[in-house]
Amino acid sequence: LSQTCTTSLLQVFSVSTAMGVGIQCLEACEDLHKYGFIHRDLKPANYACGLGDKIRVIYILDFGIARKILNVKGELKTPRQSVRFKGTIRFASIACHKNTEMGPKDDCESWFYLLLDITIPRGM
């Protein structure tokens, strides 16, 4: 998505396009959460458009620092006391910057920063 944005004149999407893209990005993130994982590095560069007849479909990419958040019983794992920073500074949640355990809410916060980045000229 970041490459698609930079090819437009203002380097952002129109509000209506950004909302459509944003909804698909959030739905992809929600699907990941349903399977018991958090992404921990949501940003425009980690989403891509499909090809051919799937050109309007957004796909989530790069699960290199994703983390399983459910234990073998399907319950949330006990949060760790301290964790190292993971992700991209510009899109990271406040909890991530504070080196505290991240959860689905932190992916949602990063998604919000992503939405600002693709909507507001010159980003955040």
Q: Identify whether 62 is a catalytic site residue.
A: no
Contact call for residues 93 and 102 (beta carbons, < 8 A): yes
Nearest to 44 by CA among 121, 112, 94, 95: 112
41, 106, 107, 117: the active-site residue: 41
Q: Please give the Cα distance from 87 to 18 (Å, whole number).
A: 22
- Helical H segments across 14-103, by residue range: 15-34, 94-97
Which residues does the annotation mark as catalytic?
41
